[in-house]
Amino acid sequence: MTVTTTSNSPVRPAAPGDVPAILRLVRALAVYEKEPDAVDATEDDFREALFPAEGGPTAYAHVAEADGEVVGMALWYLTFSTWTGRPGMWLEDLFVLPEQRGSGLGKQLLRTLARLCVERGYPRLEWWVLDWNEPSIGFYRSLGAVALDEWTVFRMDGEPLAALGAPAAAPATGRDG
């Protein structure tokens, strides 16, 4: 994947060697979002999603560096809009370590993704943010992002997902034996 960035940009596409840092940042994000025990992902999970041995990736990542250390990340994947008839980009997670916030790295990560959308003709870059995360909401609005307050996010996992996804039982014939 190519991204138009300057040679001195602290933002670059992730490489396989970044997987441990990405997982470290995901865990730090979970702590920030008040869910410190929610991360089940492993380095192998990220390697398989981002850099599979066979087939194409199911997710992509860009990292931001400061002093040679990965201190921020943007994990994303492709979506599809039936209204536009084209793919778009879903930003799953954007995270910069607290001590690096205000340095412009978050904006550079988003700018890199926006540039990629423009280059590829993707009409949308979308993400969600927790309602209580006012600093991030203010940051996103300052960049021109618009909250879609009329939408409600749904999730199905665990037992409800297993029950709905279970194989259907054979229909009854209405006859005995």
Q: What is the 3-state secondary structure (H, E, C) of 39-51?
A: CCCCHHHHHHHHC
Q: What is the pLDDT of residue 173?
A: 67
Active-site residue 122, yes or no?
no
Q: What is the pLDDT of residue 48?
A: 98
CB within 8 Å of 58: residues ≥ 6 apart: 49, 52, 77
Q: What is the pLDDT of residue 114?
A: 96
Decide: 62 and 94 in contact? Cβ < 8 Å. Answer: no
Decide: 124 and 91 in contact? Cβ < 8 Å. Answer: no
Q: What is the pLDDT of residue 177?
A: 54
Exactly one of 32, 60, 77, 140 is catalytic; which is it?
Answer: 140
| pTM for this prediction | 0.85
CA distance 46 to 70: 16
Residue 53 DSSP SS3? coil
Q: What is the pLDDT of residue 22?
A: 98
For 86-120, what is each residue's pLDDT tens digit? 999 999 999 999 999 999 999 999 999 999 999 99
Q: What is the pLDDT of residue 168?
A: 84
Q: Report residues of the chain scoring pLDDT below 50.
A: 1-6
